[in-house]
Each structure stands twice: as C-alpha cells, then as structure tokens.
C-alpha cells in the first residue's frame, strides 16, 4: 500500500569544477578594485578594531585606507629608505614599521611624526610586531638578530642572536606576552621566550622561511618557505603535522580566515589558495595578475586585500546579501496556524503519534498521479523547464513511453503546441544522453502528424529543420565510423601482447534513418 | 516422526494464501485461509499464524465455518474428504469421506445436517453442485456417500456459486448466463444477457456472483468491468437488472456486507470499491492495495473485510475502509530472474518479489520479512506494457553490499540497463542506495558476483555481459571535506576474443576470477587483472561455473549446455575429470566442500551431491521433482545436525532448498513452492559413477542427432582435424604450423597425397586462419556434437600413411615447441 512514487529524474554528472560551499563562499566577492602603489606591496595589515582600516606598506610609504575608500585616508611617508611590515597594535591606535636602514618606527594613527624610534639594528628590519601585552615590540632584521623593545622608554630589552641568516618574518603570540616566533632564511623557525633569553623551540622548515603564522590558540604554527607550507604542532614540541605543496613558486604570505577554519596562502605563482584547517586540503583557489607578496583578510572575511610585485593592490569586497530580501513575498498563512499545538508539552500518559510527513510532489508528478498525461507533458514542455532542466522533460517523455501513452500525449496538438515539442526536439535531439528517448518521440510525432503536414508553414519549417539536423548527425556519425575504422586498422597492424585485451570504442550512432516527407 | 536414516523432500513454504476466499471466525478474532495441503489460522490483530491445521493429503479447496457451531470449521480437499476442525485448539474432530474430488465447499444455516460441494464425477471438465449429507456418528472417520445432485454444468470456481436469502435459492453463473435454482420449487431459472447472444466477441461473460443476505437480489460481476444487480428473478419474464460500472477490467470478486447495505467489488485495478445502497453515485474507494484483488470476504460480525491479492497477500480492512493488517506470504506470480540467495545477515531467502521489489523471506517462519523497493518507479499495470525487470542481484561483503541489475528491452536496439549498489545501514537496519550506474554494459548482464574473500580490504564486484566484456567494479573513497562518501567505479574491463561473457566466479580466497566466454573458461589474477590461463573443453557453452571450497579449492567446476560436467585442476591447469550430466542447477555449499547439482531429464529432476576432488557422488537422489527445478540454494543450519550415515553427512551443516516451476496450464494452479531436501527413502548404491549415468537415456537422443548430421563432411574421421580440434587452444603451436596440414586434410583426397605443394607463405596462412576462425567455431561445435556420440566407442581411424607421417612430424614439432618454453 505504498503511495505514489515520483518519476525518477535521470541525473547526469556535472562536468568541470565541483561546486562546494567553499567555492560559493569565496566566489561571492565583487569584482576587485585595483589601486596602484608606488612599489611592490610588501605588507597589508588590517586594523583589528572598527572601522577596520588597513595599512599598506609599499616602497618608502605606508598608506592607510578606509574600508571602501580608493584613496588613502592617511599616509606615512617620512622614510628615507624602503619601509617594511607596517603593523597595527591590537587596539588599532599604534602602528609600527621597520625600515631599510635598520630603524624601527612607532606611529600614532592620528599623528604624522613617529612617536618612538628604536635604533639598534644594523641592517634592514623586515619584520616587526607588538607583543600581547601591547607594551613591547619585537623586530627581526637582516643582521641575523631579533630584538625586543620596550615602548614606554624606547629601550632595547633583549637581543637574540640565534639565527644564522636574515630574519624575514615573525609574529607574536596573541595569548602569551612573552612568546614570539621568528622565521629566518637559515631555514629555521624559532620560538623565543622573553623570560629565558634563549629560544625555547626551533623547527627546521627546509627552505628559507618567508612567512610564519600562529593560530589564535597558539597550538599550531604555520610556516611558509620555498614551495612549501608546513604546519607544526607546538604542543607536541614542534612536530610536523602536515606539509603542503600546492604552489608552483615560493609562498610569500599566509593568512587565516576570521573563523579560523580556512588558511590562505599567497605565492609568487600568482595564486592564492584556501585550505581547510581540518583536512589541509585545498578547497578553493584565486588567480591574480601578478606575483603576490602580501595578503590580508578583513573582519568577517568582508574584504580580501592582495598586494603584488607590480605595485597593484587588489581589493575585493563581499557581495551584500540584503538585495535578495526585496522581492515581495507571497502572503502566507498566519504564523499562528503554524505554531498551533507546537508548544504542547507531552504529559506522562500521552502517546505521541507522529503524523506521516506529507510528501511533496512536483506538479508534473501530480498530473501523472491522476493520469493527466497530456497536461503533464505540457507542463514539462514549458520553456522555463526545457531551458533550465531539459533532463526533467526527457525523463517525463521516457516515463510516458514506459506507460505506453506517449502517442496519446503527443497527439491532438495545435500549431503552437506542436512547435513547442519540435523546438525541444531540435535543441536536444543530437545530445547523446537524450537521443534514445527523443528519437523515439520524434518518430511518434512524425507518424501522428504526417497526414496534416503542409497545413502550417511554421510547423513545416520546424520539420525541415529537424530533417536537416538528422541528416547532419548521420553524416557526422558516418565520419566517426570511418575514423574508427581507420584507427582499428592501425591498431590491427600493431602486434598485440598476448593475454591483454584492448577496450574498443563503440559508437552509439543513430541507427534509424528517418525520412521526413514534407 | 522423521526416520534418522532417510532423506526426503519436504515442501516447506511459499504456498498460496490467495487460492480461495479467506474466512473469518464469528468473533472476527481469527481468519482462516487455505494454503496448499493445510489450513492456516491467523490472528486478525497480530497477523501471526496461530495454528496450521494438518491432515489433508491433497490441496485444500474450501473452508467454511460450521453454521451450527461457530467454534468449528469445515474444510474440503481434493483427497475427497471433508474435515471438521476445532480451530481454537487446532484439533481435527471428524473426517467425512466423500470419495470424489471436492472443488469447493458451501454451508447454509438452514440445511443443518448437510453441506454443499462442487464435484466432478464423470468428465474432468464438467462440474456439479451436490449436497452432501453428513451423517451423525461418534466415530472419527465417517463415510458420507449420500450425495444429492443440485446443479449440473457449473463453473469450477466457488466464486460463481452463491446461496441467497437464507438458503432459499442458489445462483450460479457460467459464461453468458445466470441460473437460479429454487430449493422449494425445485426449479431452475436461466437468464442470459441480451447483447451477448449474437455478438461473437462480447466481453460480458459472468465472472462472479454474490447474493444479498436479506433481500432477493443477486449481484453478478462481468468480464467488461460491469456489475449487474438482478431483481425480481422469480419471474422468468419480468426480471430486471441495473448496472453499476466503475471497473475498467474484469470484476474479480463481489461481496455484500452483512447487513446488505453495501456491495464490495474488486479487480485488477487493486482498488476496493464499496457501493453504498447499490447506487452508482454512492461509492467509496480504498486504492493502492498493491496487486489485483482476487477474493473479497466479509466477517460475520460485519466489522472487518478482507481482500486476497494476486501477490499472495491478505489485507484485513476495517469497516471504515482502513487497512488494519497485512498477511503476506511468499510472492511468486512472476518468473524468478534473480535466483535464490541467502541474505548473510538475516539468513533470509532473497528473490524477486512484487514487481520491482526484492523480497526477504524467512524460511523458518514461512513469512515475508520485508520488501526492498529496487526499481522505485510507479508500477503501471496494463496489458502489453514492457515493465522494467529486476534481473540480477547479489550480496557481497557479508551482507554489507547488495548489487542489483534492472533492465527493460523494448526493441532489439533499445535496451535500458541500470545497475544499483546498495549499502547496508546499521542505523536504519536496511539497504540504502549508494551508487546508480546507467548502462554499465552495452548488452544484457549475464552474471554478477562479489569477491567474498575474508581478507579483501576493498569490495570488488564483477559483471559479465553479452557484449563480450566483463567489468570489475571497486569501491572507492569519494569523500571530501564536506562529507564522507564512498562510491563504485569501474576498475578494469576485460574481454576474450569478443566472445560473450556468460558466467563469472571468484575463488574462495578471492585471488582468482574465473570468467566463462561461451565455451572457454578464462582465469584472471584478481590483483593485476592478468589473464592467467584458459580452459576449453569444446563441450558447449558453459552454463554454470564455480570454484571448489576449503580443501577442494584447487578445483574449478563447469557445467556445459551439452550436458558435460568438467572439473579442472588449477595447479596443473589440466582437466581432472569430466562426466556426462545435464546440469540445470549447480550450487556449492558455503560450509563444506560439497557441491549439489540437479540434472534434468524427461522423467524428472535428479539430485547429485559430490566433492570436486573425486568424480564419485556422495549422494544421489533420483526424481526429487517431476517439474523442472529452476533454482537451488544451500542454507546453513543454525544448529548443526549429526547424521551418522556417510551419505547424509552433507546435510549436517546446511539444508538444500530448491524452487520448481509449476505448470501454469495444469487445471489446478499450484503456485510453485520450495522443496527442502532432507532425510529420504532408499539407500542408493554408491558405486554408481557419474560418468556412466544417463548414458542410456542420451543414446536415443544422440541417435537422432546423428541422423541430422549425415550431410556434414565426415571430418571426425580425419585424425589431423580431430587432433587439431581436441587439443586445447593454448597448447597448440602457431597456426602457421598447422595450416597446411589442416588445409590438406580438408581436401577430399584420393590415395595420392601430393598436397605439400601449398605455398609456405606464413603470413598469408595466418591471415587466412584468423579469417576462418569464426566459421571454424561453428563448425567445431557441430563436429563436437557428433563426437560425443562416439564417446567410449573406438573411432575408426582411416589413417593414410602419409597422414600418419605428417602427424608424427607435427608431434615432434609440438614437443620441441613446448620444451622451448
């Protein structure tokens, strides 16, 4: 006593890239805004506080942009040499930057001149960062040293000379004010503790390290260098968790999405890849015009900012979702009707009886259930259905054929209706996945409407079009068969190994040659 | 009850529940239905079988409540007895021996000491309604020979007889007329439909009849779907009838409710129609009952109806047209394509069920467990429609996977083929569709098997098809970060010289795959999918193929259509033994080395049980069934038995079930049933060797065959040709060696042997050989046929000296060639 079983719609695998939640999410950005900077953009950093401005370091300038502004709202240009690594403090009010000449400068966002200047490095400072307690600055320089500075009295507190090559990247822990990490061209990433004067941990990346990143929890460390992105488990004493090799060229920058679920890496191969942080598989990839040097994501992933070697800053904003709400909604039954009895608490002796869920049937299924076959066919021959989902139309035609009523459903149509059917046939007859069903339908139509042919010029034209299509297809299949024959002959001349069998292609051609008399 | 030392065939299930109308007990607590030789008592509430009333020795044909005592039940059977039962305790009270075949039984409350029955005394197709007087006696068995004739020349079916209005009259219908017999007046009135007399193809034959319980009104159902209500039939002239028409096809059964206010009708639409007040307007429907309604009955209390359906099911329906219970037996109204399988989990028997379904049937409780909807499409019942058929199914990986194949072929070129793979879900305790493969092959799939080795980490499935390929499907991980998923993909496609692949089979450990291509068996390595070796016996197409198990795992068995059973040794790659046996069913026992084969002859089917290691049967049972055995299967026992006798030890751990095909043309439509081989009668001599068996039967057949083949060239007498044809292909030297000799031997040569002049262009000859190969195959087949007749006889070799020389030369070459390997 089963209910009506809906028609099984034949599904076909979608070719090309698979559509996943991630592709939808990461494609949901507007076309990028391009801003030309003076030189290669080496660092982009978002302010952690609203209104989420971002600092862009390029050449000897630091520009601060508002979220939607295309012009910088503020510029720090008092560098003699190239500036590096302009970074906001956690409260968004101070900015620190390194310089080619070995100086580290601290700026107030509202001011112009540097508040503090930390002198001590002898060579270019490529990385600077604030520690978690906000009162210290960590810097790494090409003189192989890492220094910790005190902001209030602008003094050097500690110097670490453990690296044996340029220190090019680093970051401070967000939780512990004493911990920070630096990566160097000596292929190592070291974790320093301000309380001990020495590094507490060192991991071997294997390539010059270009970028490091700590997860918000501090448990995982990501390092990028060469073509590799490596993830280390800090709590296990720096054990390698996973090594990712998805880029063709050196990976230059790393960034976490705001939810912490996705890791982004930018590379000189002009791609940004998005990884899942649970499986470390690439879930999405962006293409850019030039090699990427820096990358940053705004709060809630609202904006992706990418800086490139050619000085172009590409800014992508998320599409707003408010627009779709504006479509006037159909009036529905009042809310009361839905919640009626819903909040009734089950008493002790009550027996809960679930009403069987009502199965939703498509309109064509409802017609078929009541044996309204012509109506069901009309419904799926509607242009909205045939263009968007031709497989539904074909499945219904197949189902009618299975029920043995296809001829009945196709008969008795006027000029307009039959031209709908013919249009559909002309469009889809030559597709191999639909051909077996549609050839049969075409034969039935020709049988039915043969006596009345010549009465309507519109329909006659369609028939001629169909005839031309079939002839073209037959020619095409013949050519294919000829090619196949030639290939067979070529294969036959070659000696085959014993015991192996070779798959042969068989073409499912059009066996019927239809004669359309018009 | 069962003698320890005998094996017998027991009919153990699958009997029809829908053979006759079911009968309710007076309090509606129980429902009775005939089921083969038994009467089954079901509870209407729990659907459980409460009692099975054993006692009749032939098909039970009718049951009725005793009108004088509502706790008793009458039943009649083809064995010529009427039995009175106490159905609450399931006890036989009395047996009345009538002495002739009884086809139906009726009781009337007013006729206290007699019942009515349909008998056929003289001719096989003339049936009579008689009244049987049941003598009062205290003894258990009473002769009831006092028959009084009521109506002659009636329809056999009890649906065509109805007693009306407190037994005042009886109505009977046959073909185009309705006859009413009045008991008091002792007269018969006959009514015919006016339109039916002159028209030849009139479709208003009567099909069934029912009488109103209180009024003088007879309802009759017709072939064209009309129901006619006859009134005023006391008068031959002034009778009237009204017509009710809803059914589009034959009305299968009619029943009045107890009060007579409504009339129930049903047909092949599987819709129960209730006509209120006998008017066309007031009708209620209960649709979607699943299959054709064959019988309708009404409980005496009036609160329940029940419908019997063609798919062996009884539905109990409340007065307000709500189905309340379903009693489902084994569905068998279509042909079984899938064969018999055992679900490794539930140990239930699995086979085709309702259209598009696979049924799981418990052999222990003779009850259907559940139906699995495979095709998942609306079933449209219309004559002449080509339905999608479920053709193949197989269980794999200890019941974790189920593979099914469905096909629909409208024309030669239009084949729709779909393979579905179902995964067992532990949470829902059922199979869930995992992968759907459209057109897995270009042509029909002939065989399907899973690799069931215990250690195999990756589920593997092999399908063989008529398109000449076999495909290996493996389970692959299809999961991504969003969801975990597995799916099946094709891993390897193999073929062998474009022959049709007919069977496939994995060895027990899963290391080898055997695929038969018509006459040739190929062995493939399941790791690398390399062709390891081929066996060819030239004894007809392979019909069954199976590997030996346990200690006999080095043997491969094949049964051919020409009636040869071959056993190959996989270690030596040679034929171990062969025997002449026309095998219909070959099934290996999963728990032992034994293999059961059922052979078919004109007399009946014989069962042989043997081990592949020796060509000597462990056990033979002749004539297990007169009908053709369709399928067989070993079912493992839950508790092992311990038969001491050597001959019965094969039944220690498994039971053997088989399914026969019933003859549809037989007057009694007996649904096919399972037969279980257990414990039997005579000890058969064991020295009986299979090879000798049935030779005497086949000789006659072969003689006729020989006569047909007289026109063919007598090639079997030429030794060169027979040598060529009998040597397996894989040990033959290259065709260039043989070609000249072969061509020479075909020439109708005189004594002058100067045939060496054939140019020795090797390439050309090779080409020719390959060109000829197709024709040659046909040719070989025929030749092989004739050779079979001479099996055991000496072939008269007509060797000429030069040919002998040639042959010797060839032998030398042959050996050197082998040594070179």
B493 closest CB neighbour out of A6, A10, A503 = A503
More confident residue, B719 or B109: B109
Residue at which a domain ends, from A450, A473, A496 = A473
> Do A309 and A367 fall into the same domain?
no
Confidence of residue B690 (pLDDT cuts 50, 70, 90): very low
Transcribe A319-354 into DSSP letters.
PPSGGGGGSPPPP---HHHHHTTTTPPP-TT----P
Say what the pLDDT of residue B255 is. 92
Q: What is the mean pLDDT of residues B107-117?
A: 82
CB contacts of A436 in chain B (<8 Å) are: 414
Q: Do A1 and B373 touch (CB under 8 A)?
A: no
> Do A168 and A291 fall into the same domain?
yes
Say what the pLDDT of residue B477 is. 85
Say what the pLDDT of residue B518 is. 87
pLDDT in tens, B796-808: 445 566 666 766 6
Rounded to 5 degrees, φ, ψ at B783 are -60, -40
CB A424 within 8 A of CB A393: yes
**CA–CA dist B535, B512 (Å, integer):** 14
A293 lies in some domain: yes
End-to-end distance of chain B based on CA atoms, in angstroms?
64
> Do A56 and A120 fall into the same domain?
yes
Q: What is the mean pLDDT of residues A406-410?
A: 90
Q: Work out the minimum CA distance from A290 to partner chain B, whole angstroms.
A: 30
Q: Do A279 and B481 touch (CB under 8 A)?
A: yes
Confidence of residue B331 (pLDDT cuts 50, 70, 90): confident
Residue at which a domain ends, from A473, A489, A505 = A473
Is B125's pLDDT higher than 90?
no
Is B578's pLDDT higher than 70?
yes
Mean of per-residue pLDDT scores for chain A? 86
Q: Do B481 and A278 touch (CB under 8 A)?
A: yes
More confident residue, A515 or B303: B303
Pairing outcome for strands B91-97 and B141-143 = parallel
> Do A304 and A396 fall into the same domain?
no
> Do A306 and A168 fall into the same domain?
yes
> Do A157 and A221 fall into the same domain?
yes
A2 in contact with chain B, both atoms CB, cutoff 8 A? yes
Rounded to 5 degrees, φ, ψ at B249 are -135, 180
Confidence of residue A96 (pLDDT cuts 50, 70, 90): very high
Domain definitions of chain B by residue range: 15-153, 155-329, 335-439
Give the percent of chain B with pLDDT over 90. 15
Is B374's pLDDT higher than 70?
yes
Q: How many domains does chain A have?
A: 2
Least confident window among A181-190, B142-151, B776-785: B776-785
A158 lies in some domain: yes
The most confident of the ranges A495-499, B269-273, B810-814 is B269-273
For position A178, which CATH number holds? 2.130.10.10
> Which two structure tokens, joined as six digits, stand for B107?
């009781």
pLDDT in tens, A153-198: 888 999 999 999 999 999 999 888 899 999 999 999 999 998 988 8
pLDDT in tens, B554-576: 899 899 888 888 888 888 888 88
Q: What is the mean pLDDT of residues B493-516?
A: 89
Is B535's pLDDT higher than 60?
yes
Say what the pLDDT of residue B807 is. 63
From the CA atom positions of chain B, what is the Rg in Å? 33
> Do A303 and A429 fall into the same domain?
no
A335 lies in some domain: no
CB contacts of A18 in chain B (<8 Å) are: 480
CB B311 within 8 A of CB B327: no
Residue in the block written with tokens 């009270």: B93
Interface pTM, i.e. ipTM: 0.71
More confident residue, A510 or A323: A323
B323 closest CB neighbour out of A1, A5, A21 = A1
Rounded to 5 degrees, φ, ψ at B785 are -55, -50
Q: What is the mean pLDDT of residues A53-68?
A: 90
B289 closest CB neighbour out of A1, A8, A20 = A1
Give the fold, CATH level 3, of B15-153.
Answer: Methylamine Dehydrogenase; Chain H (2.130.10)
User: What is the span of the domain harbouring residue A370?
Assistant: 363-473
| SS3 call for A236 | helix
pLDDT in tens, B582-627: 888 888 888 888 888 888 877 778 888 888 888 788 888 887 777 7
**CA–CA dist B474, B117 (Å, integer):** 62
Give the percent of chain A with pLDDT over 90. 50
Is B480's pLDDT higher than 90?
no
Say what the pLDDT of residue B655 is. 81
Is B691's pLDDT higher than 70?
no
Say what the pLDDT of residue B614 is. 81
Rounded to 5 degrees, φ, ψ at A493 are -70, -25
Cβ neighbours, 10 Å, residue B324: 14
pLDDT in tens, B212-265: 888 888 999 998 888 999 888 887 778 888 889 999 888 999 999 988 889 999
Say what the pLDDT of residue A242 is. 93
pLDDT in tens, B377-429: 888 777 778 888 899 999 988 888 999 999 988 877 788 899 999 999 999 88
Burial of B433 (0-12, 13-18, 19+ CB in 10 A): middle
**CA–CA dist B292, B307 (Å, integer):** 10
Identical fold for domains B15-153 and B155-329, yes or no, is yes
CB contacts of B290 in chain A (<8 Å) are: 1-2
Least confident window among A331-340, A396-405, A504-513, B425-434: A504-513
Least confident window among A430-439, B33-42, B717-726: B717-726
Closest CA to A173 of A143, A149, A194: A194
Phi-psi region of B728 (alpha: psi -120 to 50; beta: other; left: phi over 0): beta
CB contacts of A8 in chain B (<8 Å) are: 376-377
Give the percent of chain A with pLDDT over 70. 93
Distances (CA, A) of A408 to A403, A446, A460, B385: 11, 13, 22, 15
A331 lies in some domain: no
Residue at which a domain ends, from A301, A317, A333 = A317
> Do A135 and A252 fall into the same domain?
yes
Confidence of residue A89 (pLDDT cuts 50, 70, 90): very high
How many Cβ contacts (< 8 angstroms) between chains A and B?
61
Q: Does domain B155-329 have CATH number 2.130.10.10?
A: yes
A243 lies in some domain: yes
> Do A230 and A310 fall into the same domain?
yes
Give the percent of chain B with pLDDT over 70. 79
Q: Work out the minimum CA distance from B566 to partner chain A, whole angstroms.
A: 24
A4 in contact with chain B, both atoms CB, cutoff 8 A? yes
CB contacts of A281 in chain B (<8 Å) are: 480-481
B378 closest CB neighbour out of A5, A10, A279 = A5
- List helix spans (H) across B170-324: 194-198
Angle of CA points B219, B223, B226, to nearest 5°: 50
Least confident window among A442-451, B271-280, B473-482, B639-648: B639-648
């Amino acid at each position: 006593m089963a209910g009506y079983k809906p028609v099984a719609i034949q599904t076909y695998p979608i070719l090309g890239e698979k559509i996943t939640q991630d592709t939808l999410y990461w494609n949901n950005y507007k076309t990028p805004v391009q801003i030309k900077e003076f030189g290669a953009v080496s660092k982009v950093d978002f302010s952690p506080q609203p209104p989420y401005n971002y600092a862009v370091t390029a050449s000897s300038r630091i520009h601060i942009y508002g979220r939607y502004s295309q012009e910088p709202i503020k510029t720090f240009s008092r560098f003699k040499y190239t500036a590096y690594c302009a970074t906001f403090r956690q409260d968004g009010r101070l900015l620190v930057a390194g310089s080619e000449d070995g100086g580290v400068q601290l700026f107030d966002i509202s001011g112009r001149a540097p508040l503090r200047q930390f002198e001590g490095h002898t060579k270019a400072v490529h990385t600077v960062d604030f520690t978690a307690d906000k009162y210290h600055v960590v810097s790494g320089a090409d003189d192989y040293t890492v220094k910790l500075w005190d902001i209030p009295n602008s003094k050097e507190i500690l110097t670490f000379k453990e690296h044996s090559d340029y220190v090019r990247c680093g970051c401070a822990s967000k939780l512990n004010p004493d911990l920070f990490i630096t990566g160097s061209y000596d292929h190592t990433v070291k974790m320093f503790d301000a309380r001990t004067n020495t590094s507490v941990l060192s991991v071997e990346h294997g390539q010059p390290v270009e970028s490091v990143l700590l997860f918000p929890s501090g448990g995982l460390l990501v390092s990028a260098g060469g073509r590799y992105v490596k993830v280390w488990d800090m709590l296990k004493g720096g054990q390698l968790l996973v090594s990712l090799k998805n880029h063709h060229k050196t990976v230059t920058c790393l960034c976490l999405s705001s939810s912490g679920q996705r890791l982004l890496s930018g590379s000189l191969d002009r791609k940004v890849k998005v990884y899942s942080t649970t499986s470390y598989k690439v879930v999405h990839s962006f293409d850019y015009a030039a090699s990427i040097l820096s990358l940053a994501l705004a709060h809630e992933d609202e904006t992706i900012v990418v800086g490139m070697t050619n000085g172009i800053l590409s800014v992508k904003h998320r599409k707003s979702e408010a627009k779709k709400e504006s479509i006037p909604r159909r009036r529905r039954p009042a809310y009361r009707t839905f919640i009626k009895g819903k909040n009734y608490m089950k008493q002790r002796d009550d027996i809960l009886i679930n009403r069987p869920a009502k199965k939703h049937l498509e309109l064509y299924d409802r017609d078929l259930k009541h044996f309204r076959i012509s109506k069901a066919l009309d419904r799926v021959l509607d242009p909205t259905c045939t263009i968007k989902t031709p497989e539904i139309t074909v499945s219904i035609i197949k189902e009618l054929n299975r029920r043995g009523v296809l001829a009945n459903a196709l008969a008795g149509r006027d000029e307009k209706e039959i031209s709908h059917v013919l249009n559909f046939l002309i469009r889809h007859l030559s597709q191999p996945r639909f051909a077996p069903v549609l050839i049969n339908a075409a034969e039935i139509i020709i049988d039915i409407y043969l006596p009345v042919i010549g009465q309507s010029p519109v329909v006659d034209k369609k028939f001629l079009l169909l005839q031309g299509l079939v002839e073209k297809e037959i020619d095409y299949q013949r050519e294919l068969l000829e090619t196949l024959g030639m290939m067979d002959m070529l294969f036959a001349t070659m000696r085959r190994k014993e015991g192996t069998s070779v798959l042969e292609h068989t073409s499912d051609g059009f066996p019927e040659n239809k004669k359309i008399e018009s | 009850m069962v003698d320890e030392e005998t094996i017998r065939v027991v009919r153990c299930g699958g009997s029809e529940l829908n053979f006759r109308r079911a009968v309710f007990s007076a309090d509606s607590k129980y429902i009775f239905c005939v089921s083969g030789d038994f009467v089954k008592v079901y509870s209407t509430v729990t659907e459980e079988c409460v009692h099975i009333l054993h006692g009749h020795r032939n098909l039970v044909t009718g049951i009725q409540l005793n009108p004088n005592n509502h706790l008793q039940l009458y039943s009649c059977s083809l064995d010529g007895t009427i039995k009175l039962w106490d159905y609450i305790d399931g006890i036989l009270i009395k047996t009345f021996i009538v002495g002739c075949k009884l086809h139906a039984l009726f009781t009337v409350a007013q006729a206290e000491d007699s019942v009515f029955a349909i008998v056929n005394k003289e001719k096989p197709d003339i049936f009579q309604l008689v009244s049987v007087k049941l003598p009062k006696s205290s003894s258990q068995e009473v002769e009831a020979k006092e028959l009084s004739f009521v109506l002659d020349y009636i329809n056999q079916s009890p649906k065509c007889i109805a007693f009306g209005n407190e037994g005042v009259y009886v109505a009977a219908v046959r073909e185009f007329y309705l006859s009413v017999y009045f008991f008091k007046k002792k007269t018969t009135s006959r009514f015919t439909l006016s339109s039916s007399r002159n028209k030849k193809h009139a479709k208003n034959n009567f099909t069934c009849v029912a009488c109103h319980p209180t009024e003088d009104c007879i309802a009759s159902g017709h072939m064209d779907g009309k129901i006619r209500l006859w009134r005023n039939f006391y008068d031959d002239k002034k009778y009237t009838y009204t017509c009710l028409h809803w059914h589009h096809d034959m009305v299968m059964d009619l029943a009045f409710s107890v009060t007579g206010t409504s009339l129930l009708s049903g047909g092949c639409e599987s819709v129960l129609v209730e006509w209120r007040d006998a008017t066309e307007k007031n009708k209620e429907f209960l649709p979607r009952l699943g299959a054709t309604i064959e019988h309708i009955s009404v409980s005496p209390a009036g609160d329940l109806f029940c419908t019997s359906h063609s798919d062996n099911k009884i539905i109990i329906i409340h007065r307000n047209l709500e189905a309340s219970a379903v009693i489902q037996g084994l569905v068998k109204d279509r042909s079984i394509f899938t064969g018999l399988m055992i679900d490794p989990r539930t140990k239930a028997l699995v086979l085709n069920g309702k259209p598009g379904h696979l049924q799981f049937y418990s052999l222990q409780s003779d009850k259907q467990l559940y139906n699995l909807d495979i095709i998942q499409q609306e079933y449209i019942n219309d004559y002449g429609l080509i339905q999608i058929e479920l053709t193949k199914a197989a269980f794999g990986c200890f019941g974790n996977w189920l593979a099914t194949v469905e096909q629909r072929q409208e024309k030669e070129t239009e084949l729709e083929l779909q393979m579905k793979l179902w995964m067992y879900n532990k949470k829902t305790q059922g199979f869930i569709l995992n992968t759907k493969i459209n057109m897995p092959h270009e042509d029909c799939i002939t065989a399907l098997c899973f690799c069931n080795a215990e250690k195999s980490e990756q589920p593997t499935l092999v399908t063989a098809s008529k398109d000449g390929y076999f495909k290996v499907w493996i389970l692959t991980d299809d999961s991504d970060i969003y969801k975990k998923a597995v799916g099946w993909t094709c891993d390897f496609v193999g073929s062998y010289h474009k022959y049709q692949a007919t069977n496939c089979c994995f060895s027990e450990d899963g290391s080898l795959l055997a695929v038969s291509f018509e006459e040739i068996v190929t062995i493939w390595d399941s790791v690398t999918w390399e062709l390891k070796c081929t066996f060819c016996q030239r004894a007809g197409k392979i019909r069954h193929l199976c590997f030996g198990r346990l200690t006999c795992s080095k043997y491969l068995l094949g049964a051919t259509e020409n009636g040869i059973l071959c056993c190959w040794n996989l270690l030596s790659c040679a034929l171990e033994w062969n025997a002449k046996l026309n095998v219909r069913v070959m099934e290996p026992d999963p728990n032992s080395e034994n293999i059961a084969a059922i052979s078919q002859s004109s007399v009946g089917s014989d069962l042989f049980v043997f081990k592949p290691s020796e060509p000597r049967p462990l056990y033979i049972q002749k004539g297990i069934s007169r009908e053709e055995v369709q399928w067989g299967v070993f079912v493992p026992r839950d508790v092992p038995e311990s038969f001491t006798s050597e001959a019965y030890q094969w039944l220690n751990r498994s039971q053997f079930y088989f399914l026969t095909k019933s003859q549809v043309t037989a007057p009694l439509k007996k649904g096919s049933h399972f037969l279980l081989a257990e414990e039997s009668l005579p000890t058969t001599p064991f020295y009986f060797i299979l090879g000798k068996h049935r030779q005497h039967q086949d000789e006659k057949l072969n003689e006729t065959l020989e006569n047909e083949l007289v026109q063919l060239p007598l090639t079997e007498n030429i030794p060169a040709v027979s040598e060529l044809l009998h040597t397996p292909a894989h040990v033959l030297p290259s065709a260039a060696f043989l070609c000249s000799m072969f061509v020479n031997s075909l020439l109708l040569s005189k004594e002058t042997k100067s045939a060496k002049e054939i140019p020795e262009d090797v390439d050309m000859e090779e080409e020719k050989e390959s060109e000829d190969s197709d024709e040659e195959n046909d040719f070989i087949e025929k030749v092989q046929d004739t050779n079979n007749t001479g099996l055991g006889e000496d072939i008269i070799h007509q060797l000429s000296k030069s040919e002998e020389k040639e042959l010797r030369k060839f032998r030398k070459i042959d050996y050197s060639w082998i040594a070179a390997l």
